[in-house]
């Protein structure tokens, strides 16, 4: 009897111990699973696909502000570094959304990296993603902000540039009215009035030309154009002014080069370069205009013996209304739009314009265009297709 009870007691004790051991194993496994979920969190289904499809930069962070998902755009903007947000302000926005639960939108100007001073303009939106995660979206508005600033500057510059000749015309008209019997004064004021009216007309025409060039990415009606004829026409337009100051316009030998494009637009571009060279050259000096054909590229170079351009201004000389020397430019009658017109005219023909200059050694502006024979379009190619081919040749 005693032995039977001992057996039953042993069995019961074994069952209790076994059940306890199984419970311990289950508990340990549960804790391990929960720990795994914390260490390696799983974002909601579909988030990866959404981030790939978004045109903006997208980032998902966990409760410890670790970046668990990020789009290529986020890395491209430098917003993620070493699996963490690289911008302190973004971390602050994430913490605020986690604390309040309310989404936030804010415009930020952030450094693109710690290696330079380049910045990006972003519109950032931060909101909860489920109960654990925070979703951050960043829309890059850098180019839009830059264009808006350019627009504001353009309007301000136009207002300023128009104000000067209009004011001068008004004053001269009053002076003429007050001295009708003084023939000498009348002739003087009339000459000044004609000069200011011409300046106003040139500025207005330059604004119109630049607007047309910027509105069209390619030449709408491209034809075969002789570069020698373009150069000859541009030189003739500046010959009277050059001879009045004893400046020699020296042209090189004929290149016989042909390009596809608009002859009047190309003539305007070369004319602007020659006109600039004449206006900024000292009296009794020389302006050289040369053409060259090499490897399917036509080059038109205009060289002067003027004061030159400082290195810090070389990157900006093609901007609208930008002048290296404000006083000298106004004295020579420049509108501040000539080089900008050159840049857009050449780009619309699939080419580029370059500048070399050193203070005291003069400047050389070079237009580079794809040669028509090098492009060799068939007879049924449209003008727009021809310009697109030219653009491709330039970027190869």
Q: Which domains does the chain have, with CATH numbers?
A: 47-140 (3.30.450.20), 144-215 (1.10.287.130), 218-395 (3.30.565.10)
Please answer whether residues 60 and 90 qualify as being in contact, where contact means their C-beta atoms are separated by less than 8 angstroms: no
List residues bridging with 369 in a β-sheet: 298
Residue 185 confidence class, pLDDT cut points 50, 70, 90: confident
| pLDDT reported for residue 39 | 41
Torsion of CA 180, 182, 188, 194, to 10 degrees: 20
Of 261, 360, 371, 268, give the one whose Cα is nearest residue 310.
360
Place of tokens 């070079």: 366
> What would the pLDDT profile of 295-345 be if each residue is shown by its tens digit?
889 999 999 998 888 888 888 888 877 765 554 445 555 567 888 889 988
How many angstroms separate the most distant Cα atoms in the chain?
A: 152
Please answer whether residues 371 and 346 qualify as being in contact, where contact means their C-beta atoms are separated by less than 8 angstroms: no
> What would the pLDDT profile of 68-99 be if each residue is shown by its tens digit?
988 888 888 888 888 889 888 999 999 999 99
pTM for the whole structure: 0.55
Residue 383 scores a pLDDT above 70: no
Please answer whether residues 277 and 331 qualify as being in contact, where contact means their C-beta atoms are separated by less than 8 angstroms: no
């Amino acid at each position: 009897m005693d032995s039977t009870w001992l057996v039953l007691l042993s069995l019961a004790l074994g069952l209790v111990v076994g059940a306890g051991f199984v419970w311990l194993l289950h508990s340990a496994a549960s804790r391990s699973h929960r720990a795994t979920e914390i260490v390696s969190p799983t974002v909601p289904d579909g988030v990866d696909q959404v981030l790939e499809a978004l045109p903006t930069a997208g980032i998902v962070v966990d409760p410890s502000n670790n970046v668990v998902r990020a789009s290529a755009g986020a890395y491209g903007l430098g917003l993620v570094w070493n699996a963490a947000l690289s911008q302190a302000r973004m971390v602050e926005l994430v913490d605020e959304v986690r604390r309040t639960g309310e989404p936030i939108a804010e415009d930020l100007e952030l450094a693109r990296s710690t290696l330079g001073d380049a910045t990006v303009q972003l519109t950032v939106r931060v909101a909860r993603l489920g109960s654990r995660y925070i979703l951050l979206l960043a829309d890059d508005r850098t180019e839009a902000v830059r264009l808006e600033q350019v627009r504001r500057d353009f309007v301000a510059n136009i207002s300023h540039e128009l104000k000067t000749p209009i004011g001068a015309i008004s004053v001269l008209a009053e002076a003429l009215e007050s001295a009708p019997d003084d023939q000498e004064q009348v002739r003087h004021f009339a000459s000044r009035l004609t000069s200011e009216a011409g300046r106003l007309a040139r500025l207005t025409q330059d604004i119109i030309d630049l607007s047309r060039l910027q509105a069209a990415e390619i030449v709408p009606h491209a034809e075969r154009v002789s570069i020698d004829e373009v150069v000859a026409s541009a030189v003739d337009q500046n010959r009277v002014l050059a001879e009045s100051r004893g400046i020699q316009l020296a042209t090189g030998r004929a290149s016989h080069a042909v390009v596809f494009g608009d002859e009047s637009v190309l003539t305007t571009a070369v004319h602007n370069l020659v006109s600039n060279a004449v206006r900024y050259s000292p009296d009794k000096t020389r302006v050289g205009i040369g053409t060259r054909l090499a490897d399917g590229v036509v080059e038109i170079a205009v060289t002067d013996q003027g004061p030159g351009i400082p290195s810090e201004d070389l990157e900006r000389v093609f901007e609208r209304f930008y002048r290296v020397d404000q006083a000298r430019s106004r004295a020579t009658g420049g509108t501040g739009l000539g080089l900008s017109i050159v840049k857009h005219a050449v780009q619309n023909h699939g080419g580029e314009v370059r500048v070399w200059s050193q203070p005291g050694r003069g400047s050389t502006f070079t237009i580079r265009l794809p040669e028509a024979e090098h492009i060799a379009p068939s007879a049924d190619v449209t003008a727009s297709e021809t310009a697109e081919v030219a653009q491709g040749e330039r970027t190869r």
